[in-house]
Structure 1
Amino acid sequence: MHLLLSIAFVLCWSSGFIGAKLGVGTAPAVTILMWRFLPLAVILMVVAALSGSSWRGLTPRDVTRQAVIGVLSQSGYLLTVYYAIQLGVSSGTTALIDGAQPLVAGALAGPLLHQQVSRHQWIGLALGLSGVTVVTMADATAGTGAAWWAYLIPLIGMFSLVAATLLQGRARTPVAPATSMTVHCATSAVIFTALAVGAGAAQPPAELSFWVAITWLVALSTFGGYGLYWMITRRSGVTKVNTLMFLMAPVTAVWGALMFREPFHVQTALGLAVCLAAVVIVHRGGLSSATERSPDEPARARR
């Protein structure tokens, strides 16, 4: 079951970069993000009003924390990704830059979340970073025509998602995934609508491809990738879910090469193999630790 969830997460999260590439060809980034979240937020809020059981026990502070997490993990992260792609950074390169996230989150999980980061996990994280570096160098040599500073924008988004992950990990009150997604999407809808209206870009284009991209992003990226991200984080901890993020770069590079003819090299295939090895090492290390743990000892990653 865990393997299937991991595969689904990787594919759905990677689909976000592809969906962004599909959308920015027809409209500005803020227009796409506004229409991605505004209808979705309305639907989720109606569902939440009809089934209020998951909101019981939540204080205003809990809801505020989830709103802040939504700003960091959705608004901040997605705006930087979409804007970078709009500026000409390829979908594969954007995913590659975000590939540094696992190392940052893994390094901070120990001191900030008091989670044990094993030797296997550190080895896997280091190996994964090596794989991402290989793919990044191959993609950079191909060139995309984007300005040098455009490559810094996804880096900001990566730190935004790391901050959201760590903030969620420090939360003491468990929040149902459906509830947190409702708060996150409502927060994003307000922010992106304000940005789009302020920029005079709120009106959606008439092209069918725009709505195809919106449907793609809502179904695969939001419900699939974003929902599975927090589900796996709750089940397995920050380090493991972020190790899976190493697979986003090579998978997106392959996907982008097939759909948009973005550059794909032998080094990309090598990087994919290294990233796969990193994920195997981390997950086997986690299984070994669980086996060695006594039955009465709770897993730290689930506290």
Structure 2
Amino acid sequence: MQNLIYSNFSLAALFVLLWNSGFIGAEYGLPYTGTFTLLFWRYGALTLVLFAYLLLTKQLARQPLKTILHTSLVGVLAHGVWLSCALLALEQNVPAGIVALVVALQPLATGAFSGLVVGEQASRWQWLGLITGFLGVAIAVGTRIQVNDEASFFGYFIPFGSVIAITIASLLQRRRETSSQNYPRLSVAETLFYQSFATVLILTLPAVSIEKLEIQWNLALIATLSWLILGVSLASYGLMWKLLSRLDATRVASLFYLGPPVTMAMAWVAFGDTPQLADIIGLLVVTAGVMFVQFPQLRPR
């Protein structure tokens, strides 16, 4: 039991680091291309890499259509819609702090619907953790929010699409993992292959029709795309699906609260963006909230 706890903790810590490095990668990549084109090449390359791997390892087995459609739907929501909405909001000049704050609603949404969709009702101490975690994000992000007059009114609603998409995707995946029905179990590589293939199909239309696939190829962009493909789309999403097979959706969702403070720490290293006192306080509050969600049995007596 103790080994399983340590294993889950290690997976969760690695997931948080890899997942949030994607925002830094997007910061490097967006100056050279548009949102849909960046995601098109990212998931197009990932699809080819996974297809080659599955062929070489002889893992590309024929799967029921229902399994493929379910996996593809989860992928389009978790990859395509989630990332497109977050990046489009930034392209619309919505302050990054506001985007981070809106996206941080996802654990609360997951906790609210987990009982209805999956049958895993969040306890009152987990709800305390979810609320505490959101307050921590608000402390860390609130001091950085600067309302930008250049952002369109519609732009401020775009990040809610990310919240809705990743919440539905997480709950659908968790419900399948806990279902009593004998669904075929896909490997992580097969799961990501169908998800990335469906995502690139969906992204083709806006990437071609809206952005004309315009991109400025250079070494910095190639390096950024390589990391986004292997480190984020492959490794971090693989870890998220692995965690959802072991932990309830609310516990996994609470890890997203660590996104803003961890991303700010990464921005400090990458861009010299010095952390503020509110960042440190927010991180401590977020950590306390996540601990309440992960270990409700450790609540104060």
TM-score by length of 1: 0.86
Q: Secondary structure at the match of 1:253?
A: helix
1:238 corresponds to which residue? 249
2:4 corresponds to which residue? none
Give the superposed CA RMSD: 2.2
2:111 corresponds to which residue? 106
| 5+ long unaligned stretches in structure 1 | 289-303
Query: d(CA) in 2 for partners of 1:19 and 1:73?
Result: 18
Q: 222-231 or 89-98, which moves further after superposition?
A: 89-98
Closer/same/farther in 2, CA of residues 286 and 196 from structure 1, 3 Å limit = farther
Once the two structures are superposed, what CA deviation does each residue of 1:213-234 show, in whole Å capped at 9, x if it has no partner? 2012112211222111111111
On the 8 A contact 1:165/1:238 being kept in 2, the answer is: yes
Q: Please, which of 227, 230, 236 is the counterpart of residue 219 of structure 1?
A: 230
On the 8 A contact 1:18/1:91 being kept in 2, the answer is: no
Q: What one-letter code is carried by the residue in structure 2 that aligns with 1:40?
A: L
2:157 corresponds to which residue? 152
On the 8 A contact 1:130/1:274 being kept in 2, the answer is: yes
Q: Post-superposition shift, 1:143?
A: 4.5
Q: Post-superposition shift, 1:110?
A: 0.9
Query: d(CA) in 2 for partners of 1:227 and 1:91?
Result: 26
Query: d(CA) in 2 for partners of 1:204 and 1:224?
Result: 25
TM-score by length of 2: 0.87
Segments ≥4 residues shifted beyond 6 Å:
none
On the 8 A contact 1:96/1:135 being kept in 2, the answer is: no
Once the two structures are superposed, what CA deviation does each residue of 1:42-94 show, in whole Å capped at 9, x if it has no partner? 121232334454746x3101111111111111110111112122233455543
Q: Please, which of 30, 39, 43 is the counterpart of residue 37 of structure 1?
A: 43
Q: Post-superposition shift, 1:125?
A: 0.8
Query: d(CA) in 1 for partners of 2:139 and 2:218?
Result: 38
Q: Secondary structure at the match of 1:175?
A: coil
Q: Please, which of 6, 10, 14 is the counterpart of residue 16 of structure 2?
A: 10
Closer/same/farther in 2, CA of residues 200 and 155 from structure 1, 3 Å limit = closer
Query: d(CA) in 2 for partners of 1:267 and 1:198?
Result: 43
2:277 corresponds to which residue? 266
Query: d(CA) in 2 for partners of 1:270 and 1:146?
Result: 30
| 5+ long unaligned stretches in structure 2 | 1-6
1:116 to 2:127 alignment: no
Q: 207-216 or 254-263, which moves further after superposition?
A: 254-263
1:24 to 2:35 alignment: no
Aligned residues: percent identity? Answer: 29
Query: d(CA) in 2 for partners of 1:146 and 1:254?
Result: 27
1:138 to 2:143 alignment: yes
Aligned residue pairs total: 286
